Amino acid sequence: MILEENYILNNGVKIPKLGLGTWMINGDDAVQAVKEAVKLGYRHIDTAQAYQNEEEVGKGIKECGVAREELFITTKLAAEAKSYDVAVKAIDESLNKLGLEYVDLMIIHSPKPWMEFQKEDRYFEGNVEAWKALEEAYNAGKIKAIGVSNFEKEDIDNILKSASVKPMVNQVLAHISNTPKDLIKYCEGNDILVEAYSPIAHGELMKNEKVKSMAEKYDVTIPQLSVRYCLQLGLLPLPKTANPNHMENNADVNFEISSEDMDILKNIEHIKDYGEASMFPVYGGDLSK
């Protein structure tokens, strides 16, 4: 069962192979989503400062009935935290909001502030400062693993030049119809686990006829095919949902996609439109307009 399987990060920490994303799940819904996921067997919960639900996720963790040490909790340092002092303060704020003595993984949410995501400045200096703050929190035991998100090769190279602790993960947009093969290969070559957010393309894969027919071939749902695809690429999928039925469905992926069909899925036409989500920078939008 996939919920009982783990990857091993480059520092030896175990991380469950499937996690629950909590973006755009707020208030009591976030509390309930965490509790429902844990009840179903999920042990990996992913949140972020930018989601503005750390307090509710923390409440769900307290009320879920499972010991803290059995859970793997990820949060993300705000994309705007590009100085050492701001990052140090933000790390402690996350721990306070979550009500936890430590988090299992904390990552820089983006190499650039969201309002600057489409601009050329890569904030190399700011990312080195933010990384230093994460390294110190890691060495102090406040964080069990540290990493990055939405980082391209040059952003990771910039961190590696001065890092005393190597990034353990890079969380990126990856799904059928958007598989960053070169970046995945580069991360694997540096022993950095790639996590896949929006593995179902923010729901847009549900409209893809080729994906639909492939799912029918395996007698599975499109989300199940999408999650399995990521797992077979060695990625860690983070499907987001507050619906317990969807959580259960997303974790029921005990089947194998053939290598021939994996090749077909890897080469499906690149998605151009993420619907309502297209306004967000990671899906091609520009918030600075």
Sign for the CA dihedral angle at 134, 138, 141, 142 comes to positive
Strand partners, 107: 76, 147
> How, if at all, do strands 105-108 and 72-77 pair?
parallel
First to last CA, the chain: 45
Look at residue 92 and give its three-state secondary structure: helix
Contacts of 55 (CB under 8 A, 6+ apart): 97, 98, 99
Catalytic residues: 51
DSSP 8-state secondary structure symbol assigned to residue 10: T
Long-range contacts of 93-97 (CB under 8 A, 24+ apart): 93/49, 94/49, 94/54, 95/142, 97/54, 97/55, 97/58
Q: Which ranges in the chain belong to alpha helices (H)?
A: 27-40, 54-63, 84-98, 124-139, 153-162, 181-189, 209-218, 222-232, 244-251, 259-266
